[in-house]
Chains A and B, each alone.
Chain A
Amino acid sequence: MSKVVVIGAGFSGHTAALYLGTKLGRKHDVTVISNRDVFGYVPSWVWVGIGHMKPEKTIFKLKPIYNKKHVKFVHAAAKEIHPDAGDQYVIGEEIGTGKEVRLDYDYLVIAPGPLLNFAGTPGLGPENGFTHSICSLPHALKARDAYLALCDRMAKGEQVKIVIGTGHPGATCQGAAFEYIVNVHKDLVKRGLRDKADILWLSNEPALGDLGVNGVQIKRNGHMLVSEEFIRSVFKDHGIRYQVQTGVTKVEEGKIHWQNYEGEEGTTDFDFAMLIPQFKGQPFKYIGKDGSDISSKLVNPAGFVLVDGKYGLTYPELAQTPEAWPAKYNNPSYPNVYSAGIAFAPPGPISKPFTNKNNLVIAPAPPRTGMVSGMVGRVVAMNIIDAVEGREPSHSERMTEMVAACVASMGDSLWDGNAVTIVMRPVVPDRKKYTNEYGRDLFVSHLEMGLSGAWMKYMLHYTFIWKFKANPGWTLIPE
């Protein structure tokens, strides 16, 4: 009997656990260890953050789902990983009791999601800072309360300044921030308060619409349409100001400090700010058989798990080397240790990085959206299933091969809402296969805005919650 342990139960960890449980759960030991006992449907937190969706609609308990799939669930925070052969185990601390738990494994999946590194920007974040976030459910709820209090102030006639974007020069997830800024705009229009707010998009993207993926490019009616023009049109239409090529360096009460590409330092005042923090890997301890710290064999300095990618290439080299992106997502030193979702270390950025004259690197990190995380979770699960059943792990999917579909909400009403539907192939440009200047399949790539997108966004919410609850037919729904 093989033992498989999955750390984390987000999009990637939960997806891996469902496949592993379905295929191996009856004969083998599949265990999920997570510090949260609920699954959170992250894409809908943008609506929670403005009070348009109740938080309980975005979460459900994990244990009943795992019971059904023959997966054991341990509600504990993983602390240590001991990967050396012969005695491979994970140490965790049980939530509530603080009791130590030990989980032995033959195969390990590290998929705990990101560490929200608010400490990387002094003054950032809802706990020890002055800004908000929608990256976790408690944060989205705090953002909602602050936003609704702001609306009350506006209703009394006060003029306010709202800043939404990225809170660190190396932050990612610009798409979520984009959804939030447009939803805030739409909500204020509906409340009749839009004229009371000055809204600013503040981001580390090299260009508007970059979204951390080097932009989205499509061919429509024989003409090229790039996301930069598209987002600029949206912002102009909505009266949203924007400032890109900017890295936030510090936040004080009501004041954001930043540096831009030119090396200029400046400040922006705000009454309400939602800024995405830098993401880092979870700070697990990686301990060798002799008790030594073996982190350097498993993770990069930011704590992301090293997998089968080619690391250390310069940006121009990486841009020409699609095969540098990981395929099977296992660690070269410990091939039975896999990683999925935000946790694995990408070989470099997708968007062009920039270092200003003050040596500040302003570079969006590669986003790993729900679809990408789910796909990697499935690839990892399938490879472990192969290995457990005595086959050579045969599944692979690089981000330079992956298709990603993303629906960015721009107003949640089913009657007059709006959303941008984006389809990209591949997520990371492959300039060898697609010889156009963008390195993407311009036939498949798609960008469209309309009410149908708002319907899609709702449909995806309910469809994916159905899938993640492992209800009948869940495997038919693609990641």
Chain B
Amino acid sequence: MEQEFSKSEKFWMNFKLYQLWRFIVLNLKVYTVAVQSKRR
């Protein structure tokens, strides 16, 4: 990774539609890994 975020990276970090997609994906990811703990 470069020392600073590129313009493109910054654009995607705040592009609402893409971030909505990431929000869904991240929620699924976090939930999936977190519930694994419940099985122990």
Give the CA-CA distance A237 to B10 in the complex, in Å: 10
Tell me if A456 and B27 are in contact (CB < 8 A): yes
Q: Is A12 an interface residue (CB 8 A)?
A: no
CB neighbours of A479 from chain B (8 A): 34, 37
CB neighbours of B3 from chain A (8 A): 232-233, 236
- CB-CB contacts of A444-479 with B at 8 A, as 1s and 0s? 101011111101100100000000000000000011
Give the CA-CA distance A375 to B12 in the complex, in Å: 34
Q: Is A418 an interface residue (CB 8 A)?
A: yes
Tell me if A375 and B29 are in contact (CB < 8 A): no
Q: Which residue of A lies closest to B36 (CB)?
A: A403
CB neighbours of B1 from chain A (8 A): 225, 229-230, 233
Tell me if B23 and A452 are in contact (CB < 8 A): yes
Q: Is A257 an interface residue (CB 8 A)?
A: no
CB neighbours of A418 from chain B (8 A): 13-14
Chain A contact-residue range equals 35 or more
Tell me if B26 and A451 are in contact (CB < 8 A): no
Q: Which of B4, B20, B29 contacts A446 (CB 8 A)?
A: B29
Q: Is A416 an interface residue (CB 8 A)?
A: yes
Tell me if A448 and B22 are in contact (CB < 8 A): yes
CB neighbours of A229 from chain B (8 A): 1
CB neighbours of B19 from chain A (8 A): 450-452, 455
Tell me if A375 and B4 are in contact (CB < 8 A): no
CB neighbours of B4 from chain A (8 A): 233, 236-237
Give the CA-CA distance A379 to B37 in the complex, in Å: 10
Q: Is A421 an interface residue (CB 8 A)?
A: yes
Tell me if A452 and B22 are in contact (CB < 8 A): yes
List residues of A (208-223) whose CB comes within 8 Å of B's CBs.
none
Main secondary structure of the interface of B (DSSP, over half): helix
Tell me if B26 and A448 are in contact (CB < 8 A): yes
Tell me if B12 and A450 are in contact (CB < 8 A): yes
How many residues of chain B have a CB within 8 Å of chain A?
25
Q: Is A402 an interface residue (CB 8 A)?
A: yes
CB neighbours of B2 from chain A (8 A): 233
Give the CA-CA distance A444 to B26 in the complex, in Å: 12
CB neighbours of B12 from chain A (8 A): 450
CB neighbours of A478 from chain B (8 A): 31, 34-35, 37-38
Q: Which residue of B lies closest to A394 (CB)?
A: B40
Tell me if B23 and A405 are in contact (CB < 8 A): no
- CB-CB contacts of B7-24 with A at 8 A, as 1s and 0s? 000001110100110110
Give the CA-CA distance A459 to B3 in the complex, in Å: 31
Instruction: Give chain B's interface residues, CB within 8 Å of chain A.
Output: 1-5, 12-14, 16, 19-20, 22-23, 26-27, 29-31, 33-38, 40
By Cβ-Cβ distance, the 6 closest A-B pairs, closest first, are A478-B34, A452-B23, A452-B22, A450-B13, A451-B19, A452-B19
List 18 additional contacts besides A230-B1, A444-B33; criterion CB under 8 Å: A233-B3, A236-B4, A237-B4, A237-B5, A375-B37, A379-B40, A397-B37, A403-B36, A405-B34, A446-B26, A446-B29, A450-B19, A453-B26, A455-B19, A455-B23, A456-B23, A478-B37, A478-B38
CB-defined A-B contacts under 8 Å, sample of 18: A233-B2, A233-B5, A236-B3, A402-B37, A403-B33, A403-B36, A403-B37, A418-B13, A421-B30, A446-B29, A448-B22, A448-B26, A449-B13, A450-B12, A451-B19, A452-B20, A455-B23, A478-B35
